[in-house]
Amino acid sequence: MRKRASTRKKRSPRVKEKYERARTEILEVARAILSEGGVEAVTLAAVATELRMTKQALYHYFPSKEALVREMVTSLLDEEISSLIAAVENTDSASEALGTMIRTFYDHYIGNLDALRLIYCQSQLFRTTEQVLDGDTVRSEINPRTRHLFDVLEERIAGKNATDAERKEMRRLAFTAWLAALGLMTMLGIADAAVDPLIHNDEELLDTLSGVFNAAVESPANGKAS
């Protein structure tokens, strides 16, 4: 018997390239809207209007707003992690790595706090039935990316001769430094939204956080990194 031919046609390389170009353009427009109008401004209708296409046409590339936002989050997170890793790997010594990471996190988001809100405030902004970042997305898309960052930080500050216990301690320290950077930017985001600046200026806060974590890497209690 003859095998039945598949009724589903595969995209040709040319069609696939055109499809990916269109998705990239849609994402760029969505990110421009995010930058100009904030999280709430990112809607399929707004993106479609900017691109002069119908919402129905947009569904061909992103079946829902949730799908579009998920793609935005992962692309933004990729950019964040790439910038942090590049900065950390370019430090002269392990003792500067966490302070550098904190400052780079600040530099990366201070000019675009809405990108920070989109990535890290989804759970607080949306009820369970409306969440864009569900558990599966967090586990399959978000966690592997952040885990890679902590792998790099651990390797940078622990050193080649560190014991398993020292590595575990350094990884926890790296995670805590990242949490501190995120906490600082979250507070700056709140202050920005309320038009109520923090009492301490940004440079003072960065100096304090960087100093604390750089010193902790060198602390004998943690095992001095080389």
Structure confidence at residue 129 (pLDDT): 45
Residue 2 lies in a domain: no
Domain final residue pick, 24, 44, 63:
63
Residue 100 lies in a domain: yes
Assign 30 to helix, strand or coil. Answer: helix
Please answer whether residues 75 and 67 qualify as being in contact, where contact means their C-beta atoms are separated by less than 8 angstroms: no
Residue 111 lies in a domain: yes
* Total domains in the fold of the chain: 2
Closest CA to 28 of 64, 65, 59, 71: 71
Residue 151 lies in a domain: yes
Please answer whether residues 122 and 55 qualify as being in contact, where contact means their C-beta atoms are separated by less than 8 angstroms: no
Looking at the fold, whether 54 and 165 belong to one and the same domain comes out as: no
Please answer whether residues 97 and 88 qualify as being in contact, where contact means their C-beta atoms are separated by less than 8 angstroms: yes
**What's the CATH number where 204 sits?**
1.10.357.10
Closest CA to 178 of 74, 105, 80: 105
Domain final residue pick, 63, 89, 104:
63
Alpha-carbon distance 198 to 189, whole Å?
Answer: 10
Lowest mean pLDDT among 7-21, 36-50, 108-122, 164-178: 7-21
Mean pLDDT, residues 85-92 taken together: 96
Amino acid at 90: N
**What's the CATH number where 20 sits?**
1.10.10.60
> pLDDT (tens digit, 9 = 90+) per residue, 117-145?
999 886 555 544 455 667 777 888 889 99
Amino acid at 193: A
